[in-house]
Structure 1
């Protein structure tokens, strides 16, 4: 899961066992590494006093993000069923079977589209 960007290496408990897999996922912008976020343990530490999170400005959602939200991991897709590189990348980053779209494991899914 760490390798696909679906989980974090928590050094406190793993002692860095998954650090290299996390670095690869982060470099390839897989899963949660597509955007920015705060690690759960960092968020908890900054809110340890029980205070509610500070109000943040509303985030504007782009058309691209809306389109991405319409993708689904069910049913499984094959490159012949994918209509764009963006869609293929979303499946690669978010679906358990997404790696099958990257046959040569170079980080580029459905190379005929991308």
Structure 2
């Protein structure tokens, strides 16, 4: 019984190691994937918004006009533009 368990563990470890990126690189698949992601990673941070859509959707939850505009432009389901003119929180932040 111990031998079977040891063989299963050795087999699982060997399978796990075989999926490591170093071993995938020998076949060329991993290296070609890296080239495509390196350019995408270099472009993404510069175009990322300075905030995250974190569930806030009302003017009372904002701290500035700039923040409210960012949420209005980038986050779905916000309720900050009552008259639909594109200017959020007119009575509170963006006067």
Which structure's residues are more often helix, by fraction? Answer: 2
Structure of greater relative contact order (alpha carbons < 8 Å, 6+ residues apart)? 1
- The verdict on a shared fold, with TM-score over 0.5 as the criterion, is no
Pick the structure with greater CA Rg. 2
Pairwise TM-score range, normalised by the shorter structure: 0.3 to 0.5
Q: TM-score, normalised by structure 2?
A: 0.44
